[in-house]
Structure 1
């Protein structure tokens, strides 16, 4: 492998890693326009394993915008990233696949504000499929594979004395 090819590969790795980070930040910040811009024109997302929907980026961004109103704080972390590059016959450019684990603590909206501890935590694995476009790397597919979740305990009603 030449130094030029090695440098290009390193640059692609940084770009793909940056895109995955931008994805997490867009979801956590509720920036749905930024979320939409991360996807290729044919990009899709599948949140069904977490109780969500599967659809194109615009449909899923709308669903996320409504769903995430429940949570005043979101901070999901995407770790253990495994990256593979490839070129597929049906693609006009380079492709990549990232498998990465996530943990997502969230704080329910409407709480008293005295605690910053998350009420809801879930974790699992993402599979990102990316394609190089004229605008750079973009998401072609995001699949969420939720493996676990911890919900807040049921609220106890005060007992009538």
Structure 2
């Protein structure tokens, strides 16, 4: 692999990391327009494992807006990102996959905190506008609400 290919792969990894960070910020800031823009035209999101819905980004964003409304304070921490970029014989391709663990503390207007943790599975594609999410699937592993812990 040449230094030029190594640099291209590094730049792709940085762009993918930035995209995942923008995803978390859009959720935390209730920026549903920004959320929609993170996806490819045929993108999909699946929150069913966490008690949510699956569908096109616009539909899911509408559901998220309603579901997150009772939690004005929230923070998605997305960590341990493992990115695999398509390998075209030593050159980076136009698709990638990423697995990342999350911790999501939320505070309702009044009452006990809700905290959940799990793993995101992202499928990504390089587009004319840069890297975008093709799919996001949430795999919730545990949730604590009102002092009660539930696990998968």
Shift of 1:152: 1.3
Give the TM-score normalised by structure 2: 0.91
Alignment of 1:26-65 (within 5 A): 26-65=26-65
Gaps of 5+ in 2: none
Shift of 1:86: 1.1
Equivalent in the alignment of 1:134: 128
Gaps of 5+ in 1: 113-117, 155-161
Structure with larger Rg: 1
Consecutive aligned runs of 4 or more in structure 1 exceeding 2 Å deviation: none
Cα offsets for 1:128-160 (capped at 9, x unmatched): 000000000000000000000000149xxxxxx
Selected match of 1:151 from 132, 141, 145: 145
- SS of the equivalent of 1:150 reads strand
Cα offsets for 1:81-105 (capped at 9, x unmatched): 10001169xxxx6101000000000
Distance 2:74 2:12 in 1: 28
Equivalent in the alignment of 2:116: 122
Distance 1:75 1:37 in 2: 20
- SS of the equivalent of 2:106 reads strand
- SS of the equivalent of 2:5 reads helix
Give the TM-score normalised by structure 1: 0.86
Distance 1:77 1:141 in 2: 19
Which has the larger share of strand? 2
Equivalent in the alignment of 1:15: 15
How many residue pairs were aligned?
144
